[in-house]
Amino acid sequence: MSILFLTLQAKGGVGKSYVSSILAQYLQERGQPVRCIDTDTTNPTLLRYRPLQCEYLKLAEEHVVNPRAFDQLVESLTAAEETAHFVVDVGSNGFQPFMAYAVENDLFTLLEGLGVRVIINSVIAGGPDVAETLSSTKAVLDHTRVPTLIWLNAHLGALEHRGRPVTELEFFRAFEERILGWITLAKYPATTFGQDVEQMLRQRWTFDEAIAHLRLMPQTRLRRVKQDLWAQLDVIFATS
């Protein structure tokens, strides 16, 4: 069965493309055939990770998203081999049009009937973006019925809302059966691990590219970051 990993978040700049790149790298290393598609109309970051050989799906005409452009994505998904995996990064400006398109066309039911499993990835960012990213994640859970993997970006600040850790919010209890799990993008010491990760993201390097370019200690730290993420993903996919 094909699997569509769909990254959805209405707030820009919270690590959505980083999450998509992590998933693509992880799947490739686990021997899965992966096609990456970037739909961001203003800042197609995933497209810049060269080893991922990402494709670009143009959604906008004169800065206005045309929902019919998503038809092309559906055609690509349904025409692919049964074992193909897709990682699709929907830009923040495409969030609302895509959600409307999915509901209007009963997209996820259609894809399931055609043999495509959908897994949504939603990012909740710490610090000042907690409320807005929580709102987007809530919209995804409210308006879809597909498994969702929630990524917690602690790098941007504390993952708390109204004094409570986001993982303990009452809201999520209603969706426990659909939440595949929680992946934490940990907050590391800023002057060592933090700088290494920032350089990797700034250069649009994969982990392997960064490790090949950098010196011994940054290499060692990035290997630890990668190992932590891969271990979390192994647990998720071993049970799903």
> Cα dist. 237→4, 18, 37, 142, 208 in Å?
14, 19, 22, 23, 22
Q: Give the model confidence (pLDDT) of 48-100 as tens digits.
A: 999 999 999 999 877 788 989 999 999 988 888 878 899 999 999 999 999 99
Tell me the pLDDT band of 239, cut-offs 50, 70 and 90. Answer: confident
| Tokens coding 53 | 């050989």
Average the pLDDT over 185-208 and give the result.
Answer: 96
Any idea how long the chain is? 240
User: Cα–Cα distance between 213 and 79 in angstroms, integer?
Assistant: 38
Q: Give the model confidence (pLDDT) of 101-147 as tens digits.
A: 999 999 999 999 999 999 999 999 999 999 999 999 999 999 999 99
Q: For residue 61, what pLDDT is reported?
A: 79
Q: For residue 60, what pLDDT is reported?
A: 85
Average the pLDDT over 187-216 and give the result.
Answer: 97
User: Cα–Cα distance between 73 and 48 in angstroms, integer?
Assistant: 20
Q: For residue 109, what pLDDT is reported?
A: 96
| Tokens coding 34 | 């992966």
Q: For residue 194, what pLDDT is reported?
A: 95
Evaluate if residue 200 carries a pLDDT over 80: yes
Nearest to 16 by CA among 99, 95, 89: 89
